[in-house]
Amino acid sequence: MGSYKYCICFTRKFVWRAAAPPPDVRQTFVEYSEGAAQMGPDQLRRFLAEAQGQAEATLADAERIIEVLRRRRCHHLPAMLSRPGITLDDFFHFLFSDDLNPPIRSQVHQDMSLPLSHYYIYTGHNSYLTGNQLSSDSSYIPIIKALQRGVRVIELDMWPNSTKDDVLILHGRTLTSPVEMIKCLRSIKEFAFCASPYPVVITLEDHLTPDLQAKVAEMVTQTFGDMLYYPKSDSLEEFPSPESLKNRIIISTKPPKKYFESKTVKDKQDDPQKGGKGSNDEAWETKSADLQTLHVSHDKNSSPEYRHIITVHAGKPKGRTRDALKVDTDKVRRLSLSEQQLERAAEFYALDLVRFTQKNIVRVYPKGTRFNSSNYCPLLGWLHGAQMVALNMQGYGRSLWLMQGLFRANGGCGYVRKPDFLMNIGPRAAVFEPEARLPVKITLKVKIYMGDGWHKDFSRTHFDVYSPPDFYTRVGIAGVPADIKMKRTRIKQDDWMPVWGEEFSFPLTVPELALLRIEAHEYNMSDMDDFGGQTCLPVWELKPGIRAVPLHDHKGNKYKSVRLLMRFQFV
């Protein structure tokens, strides 16, 4: 019996067939071509406006699409270029092309002239680490990769070197190897605006002595020059806007308090690279009336002192969290919360948190026990208005897929405007209640027609040694608790180009914070199902109609060929 089963599996063939338009595509082509064999520019423009929701589409837009499609088909048959329209095959190719028919807009389209506190900002945690939080190398390479992906907030932990005369970047009190701060700064300068022109924020975790803080001020100002923005006053009443800070770099850290230099204190300073306590703000604070503010003066450099290069003043809660969330009328600041502190604040002080983030910035960071650089779900922070929800970019997994999904919005520029309801103030200073039960606002209907491209991006034995893959897809919503839901298609057996043709409905109470999760898997009866691709798309950015949806790998890198053909409708 065992031998007989083996023979059946072995004789299953690796069959791949060319894509065929699904019935909905055929019907749509017949409808808009008015029964003709080809669709002309006027008919295609009407299809774009009516079926695809592109009311702004012009005849010239349709003509450009037709030209691209006909040249693709006729590059070896020039005589056919004289034909006026596109065939069903051309139309199907257009719909299944994520270059010509993407699921979301690719341009910046939101108002970028509001204060920074009005935006979610693509934020990294320990941006210099190559791996885990305990023993991996520190390097400028992860910083470059983050900036290339569009990350706008880079975190650097600053520590003295062993001789206390230079600044290193490393995860203090661990075995992580250091990297020179100047290398990180130079990498930021070179790659800061390769993916987006909007400002890069460098958050500095400061464990330095006053003289090294002075050295940092000098390094920062000399490295960035005119790219560096800092305010004329010690504090801001309102943050500047992303638009006003285009191609600028700003610094966010805790302002230094009044210091004094004491050989006794210096002698007690431990070496952080050896697992010691290290120097920090508290080790240098004093209540003595004789303290003086450090002023930086260099013969060869006119850089401002360390405290003056700080645009976004930061701090952590000291004492009660509710007190830390009090809004100052005359200045703005950044408050850092661990994921546990965020959970507690969301449970007990949700309205204070929302109110605070209307004017100020909240940065959330992973708890210290995430040694393997795993991540927490970012949705709780976004729901309460937190702008800088920091994740480990080297951690991967579904939490990071959500982060990547949110920041595909607004042209992928790294800044996404927060929903109006998080910024509105009602009668008696009322603000949005994250835990409130809300009615359904809109329903998203998603139809998954088919998938293609695995045979190009994967080896034919990647999923199954003896047969073609058995694909299914999972589709659902990540968002407020009431909207969270996941569904799946049936398994399509033995097919490199699976056709499902299944539709799902998702009632949404807060579509402004809903992300559409899409995953493809290959069913495995005896083991864990194999990963076949994923993407996450902001619901409020979805283009209605039939769309090509490209899939990405575990790390968020887009596959060259793997994509799904889907339809989106809002009812």
State the catalytic residues: 125, 171
> H/E/C letters for each residue in 303-370?
CCCHHHHEEEEEECCCCCHHHHCCCCCCCCCEEEEEHHHHHHHHHHCHHHHHHHHHHCEEEEECCCCC
Query: Could you give the C-alpha distances from 362 to 324, 369, 420, in angstroms and in order?
Result: 11, 21, 18
Per the document, the length of the chain is: 571
State the Cα–Cα distance between residues 250 and 116, nearest whole angstrom. 12
- Write the CB contacts of 191 (distance below 8 Å, at least 6 apart in sequence): 143, 144, 147, 148
Query: CA dihedral in degrees (102, 472, 92, 43; nearest 10)?
Result: -60
φ, ψ dihedrals at 459, nearest 5°? -70, 155
C-alpha torsion sign, points 430, 434, 436, 437: positive
- Write the CB contacts of 244 (distance below 8 Å, at least 6 apart in sequence): 113
Q: Is 66 exposed, middle or buried (0-12, 13-18, 19+ CB in 10 A)?
A: buried
b/e per residue 355-386 (b: at least 16 CB within 10 A): bbbbbbbbbbbbeeebeebbbbebbbbbbbbb
Closest CA to 377 of 484, 472, 224, 304: 484
How is residue 95 annotated by DSSP?
H
CB 317 within 8 A of CB 324: yes
φ, ψ dihedrals at 148, nearest 5°? -65, -25
Structure tokens at 370: 């995430």
Query: Could you give the C-alpha distances from 132 to 48, 392, 393, 475, 529, in angstroms and in order?
Result: 48, 9, 11, 31, 26
Site of tokens 């360390």: 306
Query: Could you give the C-alpha distances from 485 to 222, 377, 391, 510, 531, in angstroms and in order?
Result: 51, 15, 23, 13, 20
- The radius of gyration of the chain from alpha carbons, rounded to an integer in Å, stands at 27
φ, ψ dihedrals at 533, nearest 5°? 130, 160
